[in-house]
A and B are shown apart, each in its own frame.
Chain A
Amino acid sequence: DIQMTQSPSSLSASVGDRVTITCRASQGIGYGLGWYQQKPGKAPKRLIYAASSLQGGVPSRFSGSGSGTEFTLTISSLQPEDFATYFCLQHNTSPYTFGQGTKLEIK
């Protein structure tokens, strides 16, 4: 199985900060990666698909980049509603695998 190593596992930041979350795949997955945001008690919400395509309706402060084995999610200027947990998912090779998550907290 492809292992997805997500870092950091937690992150404290302030409104207006720029933050970056990274996922590394144990083998190449091309552009087969999505990023998701999850708030407590809610279903995940897709932010990015195909590594860098912004999901419709998602603010442009979210962006994704990378290919192969290294991927990043960047939030350019944190807003209060962005404090949540973020996951990556590789869907290039079955079984699809998630990163362990990054909990983004208010500093």
Chain B
Amino acid sequence: QVQLVQSGAEVKKPGASVKVSCKASGYTITNYYMHWVRQAPGQGLEWTGIINPSDGSTIYAQKFHGRVTMTRDTSTSTFYMELSSLRSEDTAVYYCAREGQGTPGDYWGQGTLVTVSS
């Protein structure tokens, strides 16, 4: 069965970077795009970007350009989302979400809480 298992919660200081992982199992990762979505406490969902695991190409939301990097390691079926120059507004739960049937989110990771605090 398909599973996406994310890394644990992180606490970071402003200006630092964080790298969240999402380990996929139960399917061939090169066959499905992966999205990253975040949700600030008590807020709605915000799309961060997408990675094509076949070639590693990415599209990022303009809001995050220059601060976000999405990568994948096909040998371990793991996806990564790194966000740099963290600020308090980046405090959120970050989710990976597989794209199936051409629509994001047929499977989701459990979420990773990133807290940015001095």
Which A residues have a C-beta under 8 Å from some C-beta of B? 1, 32, 34, 36, 38, 43-46, 49-50, 53, 55, 87, 89, 91, 94-101
Closest 3 interchain pairs by CB? Answer: A49-B103, A43-B108, A95-B61
Tell me which of B62, B95, B105 contacts A46 (CB under 8 A): B105
Main secondary structure of the interface of A (DSSP, over half): loop
Residue pair A96, B101 in contact (C-beta under 8 Å): no
Among B50, B95, B105, B109, the residue within 8 A (CB) of A34 is B105
**In contact, A50 and B101 (Cβ under 8 angstroms):** yes
Chain B interface bracket (under 10, 10 to 19, 20 to 34, 35 or more): 20 to 34
**What residue in chain B is nearest A94 (Cβ atoms)?**
B59
Least Cβ–Cβ distance between B99 and chain A, in angstroms: 8
Would you call A91 and B104 a contact (CB within 8 A)? Answer: yes
Q: How far is the CA of A1 from the CA of B63 in the complex (A)?
A: 11
Given contacts A43-B110, A49-B106, A95-B61, A87 and B101 within 8 Å (CB-CB): no
Decide yes or no whether B53 CB sits under 8 A from chain A: no
Which residues between 32 and 56 of chain B lie within 8 Å of chain A, taking CB atoms? 35, 37, 44-47, 50
Q: When the two chains form their complex, are residues B111 and A43 in contact, meaning their CB atoms are under 8 A apart?
A: yes
Partner among B44, B101, B105, B108 whose Cβ is within 8 Å of the Cβ of A101:
B44
B66 at the interface (CB under 8 A from A): no
A44 touches B102 (CB 8 A): no
Q: Closest CB of chain B to A50's CB: distance in Å?
A: 6
